Chains A and B, each alone.
Chain A
Amino acid sequence: MKRRNFLGLMGAAGVSATLATKAQAGGNVHFEGYPGSRGVLFDATRCIGCRKCEIGCNEVNNLAKPEKPFTDLTVLDTARRTENEAYTVVNKYDQEGGAPVYRKIQCMHCLEPSCASACFVAAFAKQPSGAVTYDESVCVGCRYCMIACPFEIPTYTYDDPITPKVIKCDLCDANIKAGKISVPGCVNSCPKEALVYGEREELLKIARNRIGANPDKYIDHIYGEREVGGTSWLFISGVPFSEIGLREDLGVTSGPELNSGALSVVAMVPALWPLLLAGVYGITRRTDKINTQEKADAVAQAITETQDKANSDMKAAMERARNDKEATVKREVAKALEEAAKAAEEGDVEKEEEGA
């Protein structure tokens, strides 16, 4: 599937939605990988540490020649890893009381690649051929693929300021597709048939047969059959895998599988947080409103009460004033009457005195 144009894919999805295939079955989805995809079987009991595979790789991929020639086997005395100039290296593992065992390392071409799961521009892809390829043209250079790779394979051209890129084995996918070669360079140059290139299903059968035919010679395990979800490279060995630098604590869960849990939560966050937060905001605002309303009501009530009281006070005062006034008038009237009566009385007395 060409993924370069994501939006184009989205458009096509509308058409394909009606054409559900088996692989699309929803719910309990399970993927078996590309049918007929190819890989390589490495047999550590056959490897003699001649470094011919390194030469083959170097030539097919036009890499720079190393400082020490490939024929210099003292290089094997120090542990090495993949480098920008070496997509594959062979390491020597000394055994107590026995001949050393050699192990080739390169990209394992995982069935479910962690690098692809980690890449935010989808520069890595598992090809139907079995190769995990890298597209330099979109690479931003974040190096998250190197963090994600459980085998610590990808390298980076740190010293290039303008066009730095990730480097790793592509199982000679480009060369094979271009028709230049039919078998990966390393496999082609192995003189001991320690490497077999073919369909992964076939390789598993070959590996099982070898182990079954020589149960004393081999450890009863095919490394890469299930490790990190399975790899296109498969290893069989006469000594425990951890003794030849292959980690046995990687588990059987693939990178995409590890990621899928966290990824599925992502979609729920923007869907559910706004509902919750809008709810909280709504409640806060409503509480505020109710509080404000209650406050306003309380104030209004207080004002009314005060006013009523003021009114009644006023009324009472008026009443009192009127009463007072009436009383005063009455009193005044009474006083006047009294005075008049008094005056009349006095007049009578005078008259009486005058008349006497």
Chain B
Amino acid sequence: MTTETVSKKSLLTPFNVITGLILVMGAALTVWRFGWGIGAVTNLDNNNPWGLWIGFDLLCGVVLAAGGFVTSSAVYLFGMKKHHAAVRPAILTAFLGYLFVVIALQYDLGRPWRLPYPFVVQSGTTSMLFEVGLCVALYLTVLFLEFSPAALEWLGLKRLRNLIHKLTIALTIFGVVLSTLHQSSLGALYIIAPAKLHPLWYSTYLPTFFFISAIAAGLSMVMLEGWLTHKPLHDKMSEEYLAQHDDLYFGFAKGASFVLMGYFFIKVIGIAVDNEWNLLGTGWGQWFLFELLGFVLLPSVLYAIGTREKNLKLIRWTSLLTVLGIILNRLNVSVIAFNWHLPSEMRYVPSWQEIGVTVFVCTMLVVTFKFIATRMPIFYDHPEYKDEH
């Protein structure tokens, strides 16, 4: 059906050409990385063992995929039933987000084929990374199950689809538990390194910061994605999805605004309990305030204005601002303010190959998303299951 209409058009669209070039480059980098080792393609060294692949691909990838648990719990648990059409796009994004986080991780791990070792060979239960690994593995499974009804409807496997559909509530609760755990544990990863992370970003509240900001990121990503997919996938969207779309924006913007305000205060409390006020006057302090005021407090207020004035455009741009702010925060913790004590010539700057692999992974995500969203019932209800909610 859809495949035919796609193939009839010329394949040489700018999107396809650029995508193709990136995929070719990514394939070459993949061979380079696995053939010659991590050292051949990265600027990682003994002082800077984690770079862009952890800071962006893992930390940002996971936090930006928080839309899945936020949306599904809002709709199925907290009674925002009228927005159920927003669940599938959010679940799909989250599933692909986590899937490609795990794929990107293969590049960073020294021996990726040993990834199951913590669970099958020897468990380092004291490690925050053990917790992250366990929860990401389980949550990927949960997301796969949550997403599978769409694929099963597409494939026409009715009985299996109905069986999984019955598990919706249990899966949603599992999703919240696992998300809470690993979103916060990603922050907790850095609790063991107070000597390396700048004190303004280091806090024993790091897990809480990461979790609360993940909620704001999740809400904002759902809005941002709705905006970005609106045009290219418009003909795939059901009237129901489109009709409640604006309403969803106002609801989610309200939520994000309030969560960001809470996040702002716990960040300030973090400074207060560690008595780091004097550090705010330093260069690092200004960078910290730039993040806190420009990417936490400002979007909170803009969201509030946007929903009060029913200004859709403002809300959309604010969602972008919020997402950029979360990315900035994760990069600050993992790369920019990490190892701040080292002299500048020993600091880490990603190599072009590292950036290339990151772009490659992101491109694969977009292509996969497009492939699935143009074929499976994501933005619309499958006609056979229309009234079931």
Q: Which residues of chain A have a CB within 8 Å of any CB of chain B? A: 3-4, 6, 81-83, 114, 116-123, 138-144, 146-148, 150, 152, 154-161, 163-165, 247, 249-251, 253, 255-256, 258-259, 261-263, 265-266, 269-270, 273-274, 277-278, 280-281, 284, 287-288
Contacts and interface: CB of A to CB of B under 8 A. Distances in A.
A281 B169 contact: yes
Interface string B184-222: 110011111111100000001001000000000000000
B37 A164 contact: yes
A143 B334 CA distance: 14
A158 B122 contact: no
A269 B180 contact: yes
Contact of A83 (B46, B125, B177): B46
A273 B189 contact: no
Contacts of B142: none
Interface in B10-55: 34-40, 42, 44-47, 49-50
B3 to A, nearest CB: 39
B275 interface: no
B121 interface: yes
Interface string B245-279: 00000000000000000000000000000000000
A273 B176 contact: yes
B124 to A, nearest CB: 4
Contact of B128 (A123, A251, A259): A259
Q: Which of A123, A253, A284 has the most CB of B within 10 A?
A: A284
B191 A146 contact: no
29 contacts: A4-B122, A116-B126, A118-B192, A120-B127, A138-B122, A139-B110, A140-B115, A141-B111, A142-B110, A144-B129, A144-B189, A148-B192, A150-B193, A157-B39, A158-B38, A158-B45, A159-B38, A161-B38, A164-B37, A251-B194, A253-B194, A258-B191, A258-B192, A259-B128, A261-B204, A262-B185, A263-B126, A281-B77, A281-B169
A256 B127 CA distance: 9
B118 interface: yes
A158 B44 CA distance: 8
B42 A158 contact: yes
Contacts of A266: 131, 181, 185
Given A81-B46, A274-B177, A277-B173, A141 B114 contact: yes
B73 A117 contact: no
Contact of B110 (A114, A155, A165): A165
B117 interface: yes
Given A116-B126, A158-B45, A274-B173, 10 more contacts: A147-B49, A150-B196, A159-B40, A161-B34, A164-B38, A258-B192, A261-B191, A261-B204, A270-B177, A274-B177
Contacts of B130: 120
Contacts of B38: 158-159, 161, 164
Contacts of A122: 122-127
Given A164-B38, A247-B195, A259-B191, A277 B73 contact: yes
A234 B125 CA distance: 29
Summarize B's interface: helix, strand, loop or mixed: helix
Interface residues of B, number: 61
B109 interface: yes
Given A143-B110, A266-B181, A284-B78, A148 B122 contact: no
Contacts of A249: 195
A247 to B, nearest CB: 7
B76 interface: yes
B192 A277 contact: no
Contacts of B177: 269-270, 273-274
Contacts of B122: 3-4, 6, 121-123, 138
Q: Which of B34, B176, B192, B196 has the most CB of A within 10 A?
A: B192
B46 A82 contact: yes
Contacts of B207: 262, 265
Contact of A280 (B78, B112, B115, B194): B78
Contact of A147 (B81, B121, B133, B196): B196
A147 B50 contact: yes
Given A6-B122, A273-B180, A255 B39 contact: no
B283 interface: no
Given A83-B46, A158-B45, A159-B39, A144 B110 contact: no
B383 interface: no
Contacts of B124: 119-123
Contacts of B117: 121, 138, 140
B79 interface: yes
Interface in B97-112: 108-112
9 shortest interchain CB distances as A-B pairs: A141-B110, A158-B39, A143-B49, A146-B49, A120-B130, A164-B110, A159-B39, A122-B124, A161-B37
Contacts of A119: 124, 127
Contact of B121 (A138, A148, A159): A138
A59 B119 CA distance: 38
Contacts of B181: 266, 269-270
Nearest to A124: B124
A262 B188 contact: yes
A160 B36 CA distance: 7
B49 A117 contact: no
B158 to A, nearest CB: 26
B118 A140 contact: yes
